[in-house]
Structure 1
C-alpha cells in the first residue's frame, strides 16, 4: 500500500463535468474488475466502461497509474487518518481499527494491486519490464511512522523505524492473506490477531528500552 497522503475531496466540493464523470466511470469500472480478482489493463477498463482507448489513456497513461488511483480510492479514510491520542499504543490501535476493516472490505482490490506489484518485480528481475511505469507501494511507511511518533523521546530514530517496520508486517492486505487464506480465520479473527500482534510489538519495543543496560 504506497500512499500519497493526498487530501480527499469532500462530497460538496467534488469537481463536476464530463471529464470528471469519465474518470469516475473508469475508476468505478476498474474497481469492479479488481474486486472480482482481475488486475485490468487500461485497455480492458476502457472496453468494460465503453470508453475509447485513446480517451482512457489520457486519464491513465499506464496500468500502474490506473491501479494506483483505484488503490487510493479504496484506501479512503486510511489516507486521511489522524491520531486522536499521544499514547503510542492507543495510536496504533486506532490506526489498525481504521485500516483493517477497510482493507477487508476491498481485500480483492488490494490483492489485485499486490499481484501487479509482484508481477512487475518478476519481470524486472528477468529484465523484461522495459520502460513500463512501476506501481509503487508504501503508504504504510508514513502511516506507521506517524503512529509511533510520540516515542521520539523514548526511542531513537533507528529504533522507531524498526518498530514501524515490524508493525508493517501485520498491517496491510498481506496479513489478511496469511491469516485468512493460510490459517482459515474469518475476517474478525484475523483483525483481532493483527491487533494483538501490533500491541505486543509496541509493548516489546518500549519494555526493551526500559531494561537496564
Structure 2
C-alpha cells in the first residue's frame, strides 16, 4: 500500500505544510470559491509542485478540507427530559454546524453528487453518513418508554432528511429564502414530524 507523502520523513514539517494548505483551502471555500490545488498553493505561499505531493488533484484537496465533526452528542450535559425539547436542541445544534461550515459542506455535497460508484470506498466522500441520525436518535430516546411502538431510527432518518446540507442548499438557493427562515423551517419541520409520529394511532 502506498503511504501518503506526509507520512514519510520530516513528519512534523510536512504536517505543518499540509495544515497550511488546508487552512488556505478552507479560507478560499469561505470566500465562495471552489479552490484548485494551484489556487490553494498560491494562497498558502507554497509551491504548486509541493502542494501536488500532498493533494494530487482537487478532489483529494476538497475531501481533506471537509469538516470532521466528531462530537458524540449535540445535547448538553443535563439535557431536557422530553423528546420534543431534546430534539429542538439537537436541530438547533445541527443548524449551527450548517451555518459555521456551510462552504465546506457545500463542497462536500458537490463531491457526493459527482461520486464515482466504481471508486473504492476510501476514495469516496464525503458527507459522513449516520452522524446526524445518531444525534437525532439520542434526542428521541425518551420515546422508548413513552411510545415504544415508534421506530425511532426511521423517525430520525425522516427528520434528518429535512435538516441537512442538502435541504439547506435547496431552501437558500432554489426557494430563495433567507438562512434565518430556512433555520426556522427546519426546526418547525422536525417538531411536526415528531408530533405526527407521537399522535399517530397504533396499528
Q: TM-score, normalised by structure 1?
A: 0.70
Contact 2:75-2:89 within 8 A present in 1 as well: no
**Where in structure 2 are there 5+ consecutive unaligned residues?**
1-11
Hey, what does 2:154 align to over in structure 1?
162
Within the candidate set 177, 182, 190, 1:185 is matched to: 177
Whole-angstrom CA distance in 2 between matches of 1:24 and 1:191: 32
Question: CA shift at 1:192, angstroms?
Answer: 0.6
- How many residues were matched structurally? 187
Hey, what does 1:82 align to over in structure 2?
75
Hey, what does 2:124 align to over in structure 1?
134
**Where in structure 1 are there 5+ consecutive unaligned residues?**
1-16
Which of the two has higher C-alpha Rg?
A: 2
Q: TM-score, normalised by structure 2?
A: 0.73
Contact 2:66-2:126 within 8 A present in 1 as well: no
Whole-angstrom CA distance in 2 between matches of 1:81 and 1:69: 24
Question: CA shift at 1:59, angstroms?
Answer: 5.8
Within the candidate set 142, 145, 149, 1:150 is matched to: 142
Relative contact order: is structure 1 or structure 2 higher (C-alpha 8 Å, sep ≥ 6)? Answer: 1
Q: CA RMSD in A?
A: 3.2
1:38-187 aligned at under 5 Å gives the runs 38-40=33-35, 44-52=39-47, 56=51, 66-72=61-67, 75=69, 81-83=74-76, 84-120=79-115, 123-124=116-117, 129=119, 133-137=123-127, 138=129, 139-153=131-145, 154-155=147-148, 159-187=151-179
Task: Deviation per CA, 1:132-181: give whole Å up to 9, x if none.
Answer: 7111322322222222233223235x811110110111112122222222
Q: Which has the higher helix share?
A: 1
